[in-house]
Amino acid sequence: MADYNSAFTGLQIDAALGLANSAVQPATTLAGYGITNGQPLATVLTNTTAAFTAPQASAIIANTAKVTNATHTGDAAGATALTVTGINGTSLASLTTGLLKNTTSTGLPSIAVNSDLPAMTATVGGAVPTPPNNTTTFLRGDGIFATPSGGGTVTNVTGTAPIASSGGSTPSISIVPATGSVPGSMSAADKTKLDAFSGTNTGDQTSIVGITGTKAQFDTAVTDGNILYVGDVTTNATHTGDVTGATALTIANDAVTNAKAANMATATIKGRTTAGTGDPEDLTDTQVRTLLNVADGATANSTDATLLARANHTGTQAVATITGLGTAATTAAADYATAAQGTLATDALPKSGGTLIGAITIKEVVETVFALTGTTPALEPANGTIQTWTLTANSTPTDSLVTGESILVMVNDGTAFTITWPSVTWVNNGAVAPTLATTGFTVISLWKVSSVLYGALVGNGS
């Protein structure tokens, strides 16, 4: 059997083992020695159930009939050193360049094509899809060629300090110069100064040869610009001129001119509006007017003589705002007669209201004539002491007289309407209300004493 032949390649088992002189033995014969199909020689020798006799072992070792370095053909060719030339009868040398694939059903190798590979997806690595052959689409992570969203056009370029950009799609890019507090580009002059430094220069310098004092004093001097080296430094020199003194300096009186003071904005003056004592401030015209309590646009006053002359006064002033005037003078002028009624304002006759005392001489009285309308008019003497009334329907007037008042009513009936009077005590006409004339006026006099309204027929009625 072939499997036993593989296990015993190069070994001839002969009559020393009680077997035929052949390298291939049937399974039934070998089984008696504990040998099974496909075992290598080392296993065969270990598992053999029968003990080898010395002659038998010597026969195995000394056997010179075994085949040595046979020439092999097929998938592995050669004699001593074998070369694999194919797989399952397929020559590898005849295959084209590519990826080697195995067909499970046949065991035959071949070169793989794209359809043999899995398609590339977002989660599976595989064959890349066929490119669309353009410059606008790109392969995404999910295996799809697509145009990027948003396109690829630059519309605006900005810069972050110290980089500055003029903006737009084709900007001018620059680097701002560096300052003591802002980073930026270094000038050639500054670079020359920096290159001039030598040695190790780190941290703050706590002392300088030839200069005495603390670091804080030195820092203050540098900040104020008060360092000037000319030979040896003089300490606490006595100063003269606008500033005098040694340690504590004093500015001389009148030494600070306008030219030495801080610049001021146009239309401002020195002052202070902030509460409390403090530095001077430049005040605007509005702030100055507020301090002086002067209205915007005010002009200078005239002399006292001009201001006190009545001929220079214009306009009016309410008498109620003038202190010291009498009662009559502090009442509206329209409520009084003219000064012809008395030499004093308090003697003037009021035009409305008030009480008259003593005899009065009246040359003429002009009464007001008032026309009543509607079917329920008020008989009110304040409207006029002579009142006319043309009836349009049966009517019922109301009493508005108070004690001492009277009116003369002229009623034009025309179409024989009637009047229902308020409670009236008729003093004539048989103590009854008059019957109105159907043509012309019926004249009636009404007056009130205390709470009683009296009436009398004057004429043209019955």
| Position with higher pLDDT, 460 vs 355 | 460
| Position with higher pLDDT, 17 vs 104 | 104
Per-residue pLDDT at 5: 40
| Position with higher pLDDT, 113 vs 392 | 392
Band (pLDDT 50/70/90 cuts) for residue 334 is low
Would you say residue 435 lies in a domain? Answer: yes
Would you say residue 160 lies in a domain? Answer: no
Highest mean pLDDT among 294-303, 377-386, 414-423: 377-386
Mean pLDDT across 203-213: 62
Band (pLDDT 50/70/90 cuts) for residue 86 is confident
Q: What are phi and psi of 305, to 5 degrees?
A: -60, -40
**With 60 as the cut, is the pLDDT of residue 114 above it?**
yes
Do 32 and 85 lie in one domain? The reply is no
**With 70 as the cut, is the pLDDT of residue 385 above it?**
yes
Per-residue pLDDT at 333: 55
Band (pLDDT 50/70/90 cuts) for residue 39 is low
Would you say residue 159 lies in a domain? Answer: no
Q: How many domains does the chain have?
A: 3
Q: Burial of 224 by CB count in 10 Å (0-12 exposed, 13-18 middle, 19+ buried)?
A: exposed
Least confident piece of the model among 3-17, 74-88, 216-230 = 3-17
Do 15 and 81 lie in one domain? The reply is no
Per-residue pLDDT at 157: 85
Per-residue pLDDT at 1: 35
**With 70 as the cut, is the pLDDT of residue 402 above it?**
yes
Would you say residue 453 lies in a domain? Answer: yes
Whole-Å CA distances, 270 to 142, 255, 257, 262, 263? 76, 18, 14, 11, 11
Would you say residue 411 lies in a domain? Answer: yes
Per-residue pLDDT at 447: 96
**103, 109, 72, 105: which is closest to 88 by C-alpha?**
109
Would you say residue 315 lies in a domain? Answer: no
Q: What CATH number is associated with residue 382?
A: 2.60.120
Q: What are phi and psi of 146, to 5 degrees?
A: -150, 160
Per-residue pLDDT at 302: 81
pTM: 0.30
Would you say residue 431 lies in a domain? Answer: yes
Q: Show the 3-state SS of the chain.
A: CHHHHHHCCCCCECHHHCCCCECCCCHHHHHCCCCCCCCCHHHHHHHCCCCCCHHHHHHHHHCCCCCCCCCECCCEEECCCCEECEECCEECCCCCCCCEEECCCCCCEEECCHHHCCECCCCCCCECCCCCCCCCCEECCCCCEECCCCCCCCCCCCCCCCEEECCCCCCCEEECECCCCCCCECCHHHHHHHHHCCCCCCCCCCCECCECCCHHHHHHHHHHCCCCCCCCCCCCCCECCCEEECCCCEECCCCCCCCCCCCCCCCCEEECCCCCCCCCEEECHHHHHHHHCCCCCCCCCCCHHHHHCHHHCCCCCCHHHCCCCCCCCCCCHHHECCHHHCCCHHHCCECCCCCCCCCCCCCCCCCCEEEECCCCCEECHHHCCEEEEECCCCECCEECCCCCCEEEEEEECCCCCCECCCCCEECCHHHCCCCCCCCCEEEEEEEEECCEEEEEEEECCC
Highest mean pLDDT among 33-42, 149-158, 222-231, 247-256: 247-256
Per-residue pLDDT at 207: 58
Whole-Å CA distances, 72 to 1, 25, 68, 121? 18, 22, 12, 47
Do 427 and 452 lie in one domain? The reply is yes
Do 376 and 446 lie in one domain? The reply is yes
Do 376 and 455 lie in one domain? The reply is yes
Mean pLDDT across 244-253: 86
Do 378 and 428 lie in one domain? The reply is yes
Would you say residue 246 lies in a domain? Answer: no
**With 70 as the cut, is the pLDDT of residue 14 above it?**
no
**Pairing relationship of beta strands 76-77 and 173-175 according to DSSP bridges:** unpaired
Highest mean pLDDT among 43-47, 52-56, 458-462: 458-462
Band (pLDDT 50/70/90 cuts) for residue 336 is low
**With 70 as the cut, is the pLDDT of residue 28 above it?**
no
Per-residue pLDDT at 23: 43
Convert the pLDDT of each residue in 298-331 to its tens digit: 877 788 888 888 888 888 877 777 776 655 555 5
Per-residue pLDDT at 9: 39
Do 88 and 45 lie in one domain? The reply is no
**With 80 as the cut, is the pLDDT of residue 237 above it?**
no
Do 36 and 105 lie in one domain? The reply is no
Do 44 and 81 lie in one domain? The reply is no
Band (pLDDT 50/70/90 cuts) for residue 103 is confident
**With 50 as the cut, is the pLDDT of residue 8 above it?**
no
Band (pLDDT 50/70/90 cuts) for residue 390 is very high
Highest mean pLDDT among 149-163, 200-214, 296-310, 448-462: 448-462
Q: Mean pLDDT, the chain, as a whole number?
A: 76
Range of the domain at 99: 76-115
**406, 411, 419: which is closest to 380 by C-alpha?**
406
CA distance 424 to 290: 72
Band (pLDDT 50/70/90 cuts) for residue 446 is very high
| Position with higher pLDDT, 319 vs 35 | 319
